[in-house]
Structure 1
Amino acid sequence: MKRREFMKAAGLGVAASGVAMPAIAQSTTTINWRLQSSYPTSLDTIYGACRVLSQAVAEATDNKFKIQVFAAGEIIPPLSIVDGVQNGTVEMGHTGSYFYIGKDPSFAFGTGIPFGPNTRQQQAWFYHGGGNDLLNEFYATYKLYHLPLGGTGTQMGGWFRKEIKSKADLAGLKMRIGGLAGNVLQRLGLVPTQLAAGDIYTSLERGTLDAAEFVGPFDDEKLGLAKIAPYYYYPGFWEGAASLSLFVNLDKWNELPPGYKSVLNTAAGYAAADMLAKYDAQNPVALRRLVANGAQLRAFPQDLLQESYKAATALYAEIGASNPTFKKILDHQMAFRNQVYPWTQISDFSYDSLMLLAMRQN
């Protein structure tokens, strides 16, 4: 579905010659905002969501609401998006919310936590389970308004220089890893660090890292990580659903005319759906190329997965004991996850299992 068709179907009245929606057509308000991504232009799917958003908003407002998009580091450092949006350096930022757990661990929920919901479940929690409303209660304390803007699907577990045969092999391993996953795996002996995308390859090449996770085959291939660390592990249990966040300065959001808020909401939803569809189309092809070129695909050992689950449960209990906001969001999300997983088992899981078996037999 094309952007104009989507916006029209969404009730914004976009026609080939412009915008028919009265609230927009009759408005004389002209707005120019700046949006910076945490990601470089080379990662065209994840960065590209910002361009999709910008174009959709411009089309729906007859170019009265313009959003200029900037890549990582063009205005502010790539992992300082929250600070830049808070202080008004830019009106909007696109980033992984979990990069900011140093401010408060509750930032993790905007992206995902180890052993959290899968992608569809997280989207359901955001939009129909009250999740985004709950997150915005928290983000408001940082002068931010949050709109989900994209997701990658379940991510890979990353690239390793050496084979991981048991949890013991994590001891002393230096790994680039985002969010609370580093805190979890630290309990198994791993030494975590958080780096922007542009710094990962160099750190692996120099030997300051032994392993790195980023997104999945399509983006990882672009970063060239297989050239240095050939063992490619799955699943990324810390990112069963890896969502991206559009942060808007709260004062700027509150100043927006209602029609522009509606347009921005709808455009963000379209850009999010477009990003996930692109990854679902591109990752399978990229994975085949990586394996054909020598990448060694491996599943994480079961003892590592089991111990990681225990470590995550213990970590959440400890954080929640001293952070009421974290506990409130965690309890809410886990209740939703536990409620929907039985249906996932009956529906998607059983169908996918059936299809995989049928395809292997033919």
Structure 2
Amino acid sequence: MKVNTLMRVSVLAGALALGLGSAQAAEVDGPKVSWNLSTWGKARAFTVGPEYIAEQLAAKTGGNFTLKIHYGEALSKARENLDGIKLGAFQAAQFCNFYHPGKNPAWMVLTMPFLPLGDLKVSMHVREAMMASEPFMADMANWNAMPYFSALLPQYEFLGKGPAPKTLEGWKGLRVRAGGGVGTAMEQLGATLTTVPATEVYTGMERGTMDAASFPYTYSHAAYQIQEVSDWFTSNMSPGTSECATVLNKDAYAKLPEQYQKLLMDLKPEAYEVQIKAYHDIDKKNLPMFESKLEKIVYTDAQLEEFRQIAGKPVWDMWVAENKDKFDAQGLIDMIMSEAKKASAAK
């Protein structure tokens, strides 16, 4: 099912549920509460989880608890969403850690290259554990925010314009959009970095100010139409991912009645399932389209192993050394590995 179709069906289901809720007793009684969520771009696979939560909040409370999602940076610039949360300008927001490493230093651990987060259900378990960790909570406390829901970004790949980097040496001198540890990994290959917001990548590629862009594969490339200004794509590089999360204003959450707080938390498992399905569905649509329009780069096992050797653990070690006096950086790396192993064993 196409993501847009999925969203229309989901929205319709929510609307029907809301209509029934107004005619019958709400599952969760409570006062009228209206929340706003600030994000960027448009409705897409990335936002399916929060959309589902918003629909279910309205449906289960008979329309008394509403969460309106504001797209296109209507309430705040993407890089300023944490500032808006701190000011109480809105009750919820999405942000990406690599947009502003200084605002969320501990969260940058989830940008480290070659972490074992390829399976989305394992990734969900790890990210939930990390968001509950003391360093992650402390980062958000600086913005009067509490972590709520991860977008579960899939592994990154690159789309690019110009000569295709079919070897690792081919990345030397290329101007690439990559953030955090993934960006550091690409620097190890000789690439030059830029970390522009997603909404500016199309223009940069079109005008030739960047040669390639990394996004979660495949949904985000297609969401921003990057394939329209690209000549090639990497299919198995999988250098890593990052973290984009929904956070809540702590004061707004504290003011909610207990039953609304519980409802918000109870909706998360279902929302994660919807989120994962949306990514799988959009890949089924996008991959054939990429293959029909663009040159597909497939790296050999030997090339990938070389990449891991120079840009895997060495990049982790650099990050730990840079942050060891700020928080337990090595402990966060260890926690990711432990939680991933635990989640994989439980599958």
CA distance in 2, matches of 1:261, 1:227: 43
State how many pairs are aligned.
Answer: 326
Q: Distance in 1 between matches of 2:190 and 2:325?
A: 24
**Alpha-carbon spacing, 1:19–1:318, altered in 2? closer, same or farther (3 Å):** farther
Q: 2 CA distance for matches of 1:89 and 1:145?
A: 15
Opposite residue 67 of structure 1, the aligned amino acid is L
Distance 1:329 1:251 in 2: 27
State the partner residue of 1:33.
Answer: 35
| TM-score between the two structures when normalised by the length of structure 2 | 0.82
Cα offset, 1:213, TM superposition: 1.2
Give the secondary-structure state (helix, strand or coil) at the position aligned to 1:79.
helix
Secondary structure of the residue that 2:311 maps to in structure 1? helix
Does the C-alpha gap of structure 1 residues 284 and 56 become closer, same or farther in structure 2, counting only changes over 3 Å? same
Distance in 2 (CA, whole Å) between partners of 1:158 and 1:327 is: 32
Q: Which residue number in structure 2 is paired with residue 74 of structure 1? A: 74
- Alpha-carbon distance in structure 1 between the residues aligned to 2:116 and 2:288: 27
Q: Distance in 1 between matches of 2:342 and 2:150?
A: 25
Does 2:312 correspond to 1:313?
no
Determine the structure 2 residue equivalent to 1:94.
94
- In structure 1, the residue matched to 2:326 is 323
Mark the runs of 5 or more structure 1 residues left unpaired by the alignment: 8-13, 348-362
Question: 1:317, 1:40 → 2: CA distance?
Answer: 33
CA 1:112 to 1:183, structure 2 compared with 1: closer, same or farther past 3 Å? closer
Q: Return the offset for 1:34.
A: 0.9
Task: Give the aligned partner of residue 133 of structure 1.
Answer: 132
2:45–2:282 Cα contact (<8 Å) kept:
no
Matches of 1:85 and 1:156, distance apart in 2: 31
CA pair 67-15 structure 1, distance change in 2 beyond 3 A: closer
Contact kept in structure 1, 2:159 and 2:230, CA below 8 Å? no
Q: Percent identity?
A: 15
Q: Aligned residue for 2:189?
A: 188
Cα contact 1:177–1:212 (8 A) shared by 2: yes
The 1-side partners of 2:324 and 2:219 are apart by 39
Q: Any gaps of 5 or more consecutive residues in structure 2?
A: 1-5, 15-19
Q: Once the 2 structures are TM-superposed, how far is the Cα of residue 280 of structure 1 from its aligned partner?
A: 0.3
Distance 2:68 2:278 in 1: 22
Q: How does 1:1-362 map to 2 (within 5 A)?
A: 17-21=23-27, 24-25=28-29, 27=30, 29-37=31-39, 39-41=40-42, 43-109=43-109, 112-118=111-117, 119-127=120-128, 130-134=129-133, 135-233=136-234, 234-239=236-241, 243-299=243-299, 301-302=303-304, 303-338=306-341, 343=345
3-state DSSP of counterpart to 1:85: helix
Mark the CA change 1:183 to 1:170 in structure 2 (over 3 Å): closer, same or farther: same
Aligned 8 A contact 1:153 1:276 in 2: no
Instruction: Give the conservation status (yes or no) of the 8 Å contact 1:174–1:209.
Output: yes
AA of the residue aligned to 1:225:
I
Mapped contact 1:200–1:212 kept (Cα < 8 A): yes
- Deviation sequence 1:73-101 (CA, Å, 0-9, x none): 21111222111112212111023234331
Give secondary structure in 1 for the equivalent of 2:163.
coil
1:211 Cα offset (Å): 0.7
Partner of 1:353: none
Tell me: CA distance 1:235–1:259, structure 2 relative to 1, closer, same or farther (3 Å): farther
Q: Secondary structure at the match of 2:132?
A: helix
> 1:204 Cα shift?
0.8
For the residues of structure 1 that align with 2:224 and 2:127, how far apart are their CA atoms?
30
Q: Indicate the SS of the match to 2:245.
A: strand
Alpha-carbon distance in 2 for matches of 1:215, 1:200: 14
Q: Is the 8 A contact 2:21 2:59 kept in 1?
A: no
On the 8 A contact 2:114/2:238 being kept in 1, the answer is no
CA contact 1:150–1:276 (8 Å) conserved in 2: no
Over 3 Å counting, the alpha-carbon distance change for 1:68 and 1:89 in structure 2 is same
Equivalent residues of 1:150, 1:271 under 8 A apart: no
Q: Aligned partners of 1:33, 1:179: CA distance in 2, in Å? A: 31
The structural deviation recorded for 1:195 is 1.8
Cα deviation for residue 248 of structure 1 reads 0.6
Q: Secondary structure in 2 aligned to 1:90?
A: coil
The offset of 1:243, in angstroms, is 4.9
1:68 alignment partner, SS class: strand
Q: Match of 1:46, SS?
A: helix
CA distance in 1, matches of 2:179, 2:57: 30
RMSD, aligned CA: 3.0
- Report the counterpart of residue 355 of structure 1 in structure 2: none
Describe the shift of the 1:222–1:251 C-alpha distance in structure 2 as closer, same or farther (beyond 3 A): closer
Contact 1:144 1:249 in 2 (8 A): yes
The verdict on how the C-alpha distance between 1:187 and 1:237 changes in structure 2, with shifts beyond 3 A counting, is closer
Return the offset for 1:201.
Answer: 0.9
Verify the 8 A CA contact 1:157 1:236 in the aligned structure 2: no
Q: What amino acid sits opposite 1:30 in the alignment? A: K
Kindly state the Cα deviation for residue 40 of structure 1 after the two structures are TM-superposed: 1.2
Q: Which amino acid aligns with 1:46?
A: F
Aligned partner of residue 212 in structure 1, secondary structure: strand
Maintained 8 Å contact 1:79/1:99? yes
Indicate conservation of the 8 Å contact 1:159/1:230, yes or no.
yes
Q: TM-score, normalised by structure 1?
A: 0.79
